[in-house]
């Protein structure tokens, strides 16, 4: 059965249906550059405390919709939130990101990673989804999200951010059975989390494999692709668009597509026309303005935004976005200008 049009340009574009204007939203749009977000964080400085308070998480989710007029909201949460809910000693530190007190580096460490029960372990996330969906107009979609097994595992194994992923790759190469069990458990946690978000009201989901670009194509195929595929296959019966995104993944676009998503997020390094050819006519694409363009003069922002639209072509199935997240000191008005340009094109 072919899909039918909805009130949402975003959902229609994800399903490769014709739209009156190319829809646009921004990764990391919830907060980051918004003065109203910074004011809220001054009152609530602990990042995780905002996530764990549904009313606050909902408010931050809705702020960019009010400010920019984007076509989709993305839930304010973090890719480590599900793990944080079930593993002691995991937190999000200002300026550092995720920090894991006791890294996962042996088979025995896996005993600390139990299956997740979203209604019991993440009630605040699901309530935030319900609150946001109740506030959004029908034409603005709500995106749920989670972290892919490799990216979440990299934080658990490294103990936080990494430049070289040495411990993660050492585990992957030296103890592939332990790696496979870790990735499998994380895939199941991610799948359960995403299904619960959809049940609560999310109308699309995005799987962030932010750091997968640090792997070779061969290593991705062997150690990552099977687990991302498990997640997308486990969502197939929900009839919601599934988006797959990673940074620096030009050499992996074909495999990101093969994992089973409906929409492939493209960072700014890969021309959209090339990405269209690689993923084929049966999948939509998302992206891909370089986030640093937003610091350029207005005329440059307009020129580069129109260039992305032209490169993506007139065919249905393009969701405009940045090629990665909004940088913290981005001028919020620059984001609004991009929305206006895209909607008016």
79 in Cβ contact with 146 (< 8 Å): yes
DSSP for 173-190 reads: HH-HHHHHHHHHHHHHHH
pLDDT at 2: 54
Tokens 């991705």 map to which residue?
220
pLDDT digits (tens, 9 = 90+) for 33-44: 899 999 999 999
pLDDT at 328: 87
Question: Is 319 a residue whose pLDDT tops 80?
Answer: yes
pLDDT digits (tens, 9 = 90+) for 201-258: 999 999 999 999 999 999 999 999 999 999 999 999 999 999 999 999 999 999 999 9
Question: Is 5 a residue whose pLDDT tops 90?
Answer: no
- Percent of the chain that is helix, strand, coil (3-state, to 5): 55, 10, 35
Average pLDDT, the chain: 96
Task: Give the pLDDT band of residue 6 (cuts 50, 70, 90).
Answer: confident
Determine the average pLDDT of the residues in 58-84: 97
pLDDT at 1: 39
Q: Which residues are catalytic?
A: 28, 32, 41, 78, 155
Could you give the CA distance from residue 266 to residue 272 in angstroms, rounded to a whole number? 7
Determine the average pLDDT of the residues in 137-148: 98
Dihedral, CA of residue 278, residue 315, residue 269 and residue 30, to nearest 10: -120
pTM, entire model:
0.96
pLDDT digits (tens, 9 = 90+) for 260-290: 999 999 999 999 999 999 999 999 999 999 9
Closest CA to 286 of 301, 299, 296, 276: 276
Domains of the chain: 9-344 (3.20.20.210)
Residues in Cβ contact with 34 at an 8 Å cutoff, skipping those fewer than 6 apart: 63, 64, 67, 332
Question: Is 13 a residue whose pLDDT tops 70?
Answer: yes
């Amino acid at each position: 059965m072919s899909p039918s049009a909805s009130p949402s340009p975003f959902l229609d574009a994800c399903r490769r249906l014709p739209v009156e204007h190319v829809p646009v939203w921004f990764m990391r749009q919830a907060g980051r550059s918004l003065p109203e977000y910074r004011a809220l964080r001054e009152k609530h400085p602990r990042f995780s405390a905002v996530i764990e308070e549904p009313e606050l998480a909902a408010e931050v989710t809705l702020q960019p919709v009010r400010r920019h007029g984007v076509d989709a909201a993305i839930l304010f949460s973090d890719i480590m939130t599900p793990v944080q809910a079930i593993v002691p000693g995991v937190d999000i530190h200002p300026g550092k990101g995720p920090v894991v007190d006791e890294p996962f580096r042996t088979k025995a460490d896996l005993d600390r990673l139990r299956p997740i029960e979203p209604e019991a372990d993440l009630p605040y996330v699901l309530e935030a989804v319900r609150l946001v969906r109740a506030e959004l107009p029908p034409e603005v979609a709500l995106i749920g999200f989670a972290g892919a097994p490799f990216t979440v595992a990299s934080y658990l194994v490294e103990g936080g951010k990494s430049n070289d992923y040495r411990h993660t790759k050492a585990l992957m190469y030296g103890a592939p059975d332990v790696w496979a069990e870790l990735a499998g458990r994380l895939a199941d946690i991610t799948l359960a989390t995403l299904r619960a978000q959809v049940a609560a009201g999310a109308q699309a989901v995005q799987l962030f494999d932010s750091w997968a670009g640090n792997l070779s194509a061969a290593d991705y195929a062997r150690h990552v692709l099977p687990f991302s595929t498990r997640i997308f296959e486990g969502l197939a019966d929900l009839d919601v668009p599934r988006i797959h995104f990673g940074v620096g993944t030009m050499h992996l676009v074909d495999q990101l597509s093969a994992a089973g998503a409906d929409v492939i997020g493209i960072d700014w390094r890969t021309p959209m026309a090339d990405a269209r050819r690689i993923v084929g006519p049966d999948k939509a694409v998302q992206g891909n303005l370089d986030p640093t363009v937003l610091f350029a003069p207005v005329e440059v922002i307009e020129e580069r935004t129109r260039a992305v639209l032209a490169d993506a072509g007139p065919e249905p199935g393009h969701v405009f976005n940045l090629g990665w997240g909004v940088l913290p000191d981005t001028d919020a008005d620059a984001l609004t200008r991009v929305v206006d340009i895209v909607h008016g094109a």
